[in-house]
Amino acid sequence: MNLDDIRNNITRLDQELLSLLAQRKTLSLDVARSKLENPRPIRDQEREQALLVDLVSQGRQLGLDAHFVTRIFHTIIEDSVLSQQALLQDLLNPRDSVPAISVAFLGLKGSYSNMAARKYLSRFQAPLIEHNCESFQQIFETVESGQAQYGILPIENTSSGAINDVFDLMQHTRLSIVGELTQPIEHCLLVATDTRVEQIKTLYTHSQPYQQCSQYLSRLADLDVKFCAASSNAMEQVARLSRPDVAALGSADGGALHGLVPLVEGLANQKQNMTRFIVVARKPIEVAEQIPAKTSFIMSTGQQSGALVEALLVLRNHGITMTRLESRPIIGNPWEEMFYVDVAANANSGDMQSAMKELGNITRFIKVMGCYPSAEVSPTRIPARLLNKTQTPKQNEPVRYSRHYKADNTRVQVGPFTLGGDEPLLIAELESWPGSQLDELARSIKEQGGQVLALDCFTDVGTELGLDRLQQLHATAERFDLAAMTRVTNAEQVHKAAEQVDWLLLDAKASSNDELLSAAGRCTRPLLLELAEEPEHSLKVAQHILQQGNQQLALLDSQALPLSSLLELSSRTHLPLVSRLSGDATTLPRLGDALHAAGVSGFSIAVTDSNRTLEQLAQSLYR
């Protein structure tokens, strides 16, 4: 078969896939109607789990990786759940029979708010009348006066946090929240003509995307930056000039509305950049009981100590999960706060009604801002014990970590460095978060010959600070051409860390956490598994990880195992070994040499701002 024939076959298969997806969607809507007749919740995670287990098993028999199959079906099921929700909501909240839908949002054609508005309202399949607004205030006014039926407002961004102006305006509005959506923010360099990055001399941009892409932009020399009121203005300007030396920052979809094309994509410092929007309207909506709902309300408590805690306890006592808590000063009442609360509950449910009544008795002010369908469809996970059942064990297949399975040493690619090659790899561990000293220490590690910067981002801190530290670690490692490593202790940390660092450390305690091991085994970042007291046990854990798909695994000895045990280990497994060394500057280099000769591929040592042991070890190893 020649290339054209193969491509024709691929095209045919893709069309079949599309037609099958459309048929599946029709069936999913039939399910929704049947759930309405015989009331049942839309979401049925038991059914989803059973479906995924079967699909993964059948996929494996067809040579498809478990991770690939689950990822695709998570997306299909997410769409199915959201389509069912939209159908039920339409039936419950019939729309006035107007020929078009009108919406107010910030900015002009192509702004992120415009793209969010189009995405959210596409479900109504009616022509859209767009009201471009210059401020959040104007959006509220346009909807309040009836000129637009809906308003779209950003309320939080993963990199810049809460959008306070919107929260402040919410305090005084008569509008209700009727929906939410999350929009990925993907900044690109947009151009109007055929050009190259080196030719760009002037950049038109709004200040926010400019800050969010600072790392990429700092690499472009002599750029004249012209700030605009909104990204859409920047795009308009570049489209009007239509020259090879000008570019705008904005989304590819937004740019397309102005005839611009992306020259470079994915420019944001933070790779996962998302904005959550709320949708407001004059009339509140009802949310069908079968749908996962959210309710937003605002309240102010007295200033006596424990008042907020008491209010939150009411939610807990009614089994209501709070998904967000934000506080803003009350304008005109210095030192008083208004709290914005989102809960995962339907405002009409018995629990919520009685919780609101109790809250009414202990707060100074309380008002429901709206109840709306939750746009988050958290993916159903397959527990490790079921995932393993989906394996079709081949008779007498050698265990994966063993030399029978693979005779040659595994090479693990850690950022730009290789573990398991000819040269040993040097990991410098910082024992606590160094704050503003981070860059200084990274510079010193690089100078001394270190290659990997290891630092705990999550230990003893909340998720938000952990994520912030991850980004700092990523940025510093990149600045000094080091690879970055951090410890992960749960599945969520695996997903977050995999976006920012080159190597994930699983400590010996990880072996009892099935969910963590499965997430690590399914991620595509290399792993370093700390050996448990009983190395045999860790080899079983290694087998479990390798079976999930991730083959980039190394073992860490942090208990200074005797040389004989290390030799035995390296005769049994092809996985590279790393030793955590401690000791003084005179013994360390000799120890390092001996262990390297015994097959140890990497060394990890603690670095402080005063010791130079890393340098001595590096000099001895790289002699």
Ligand X SMILES: O=C(O)C(=O)C[C@]1(C(=O)O)C=C[C@@H](O)C=C1
Look up tokens 């940390």; give the residue: 493
* Contact assessment for residue 196 and residue 266, using Cβ atoms and an 8 Å cutoff: no
d(CA 454, CA 445): 11
Q: Which is nearer to ligand X, 13 or 21 (CB)?
A: 21
* Contact assessment for residue 186 and residue 251, using Cβ atoms and an 8 Å cutoff: yes
Q: Which is nearer to ligand X, 59 or 151 (CB)?
A: 59
- Tell me the closest approach of the beta carbon of residue 428 to ligand X, in angstroms: 47
Give the other-Cβ count within 10 Å of 66's Cβ: 23
- Tell me the closest approach of the beta carbon of residue 22 to ligand X, in angstroms: 13
* Contact assessment for residue 25 and residue 79, using Cβ atoms and an 8 Å cutoff: yes
Amino acid (one-letter) located at 442: A
Q: Which is nearer to ligand X, 381 or 400 (CB)?
A: 381
Q: Which is nearer to ligand X, 135 or 378 (CB)?
A: 378
- Tell me the closest approach of the beta carbon of residue 74 to ligand X, in angstroms: 11
d(CA 10, CA 90): 37
Give the β-pairing of 188-191 and 261-264: antiparallel
Backbone torsions φ then ψ of 455, nearest 5 degrees: -155, 135
Beta carbons within 8 Å of 369's beta carbon, 6+ residues apart: 170, 176, 177, 296, 297, 298
Could you tell me how many residues make up the chain?
Answer: 623
- Tell me the closest approach of the beta carbon of residue 346 to ligand X, in angstroms: 17
Phi-psi region of 107 (alpha: psi -120 to 50; beta: other; left: phi over 0): left
- Tell me the closest approach of the beta carbon of residue 378 to ligand X, in angstroms: 11
- Tell me the closest approach of the beta carbon of residue 495 to ligand X, in angstroms: 22
DSSP H or E stretch at residue 354: helix 350-362
Q: Which is nearer to ligand X, 29 or 263 (CB)?
A: 29
- Tell me the closest approach of the beta carbon of residue 31 to ligand X, in angstroms: 4
- Tell me the closest approach of the beta carbon of residue 46 to ligand X, in angstroms: 9
Question: Which of these, 529, 608, 523, lies nearest to 569 by C-alpha position?
Answer: 529
Q: Which is nearer to ligand X, 47 or 509 (CB)?
A: 47
Q: Which is nearer to ligand X, 39 or 127 (CB)?
A: 39
- Tell me the closest approach of the beta carbon of residue 92 to ligand X, in angstroms: 17
Q: Which is nearer to ligand X, 48 or 557 (CB)?
A: 48
Give the β-pairing of 333-343 and 293-300: antiparallel
Which residues of this chain interact with ligand X, rule CB under 6 A? 28, 31, 43-44, 47-48, 51, 77, 80-81, 84
Look up tokens 């600045």; give the residue: 479
Q: Which is nearer to ligand X, 69 or 246 (CB)?
A: 69
d(CA 129, CA 150): 10
Max CA distance (Å), the chain: 84
DSSP H or E stretch at residue 252: helix 252-256
Question: Which of these, 156, 146, 126, 113, lies nearest to 254 by C-alpha position?
Answer: 113
And the tokens for 137?
A: 């205030």
- Tell me the closest approach of the beta carbon of residue 27 to ligand X, in angstroms: 8
Q: Which is nearer to ligand X, 44 or 499 (CB)?
A: 44
Residue nearest to ligand X (CB): 80
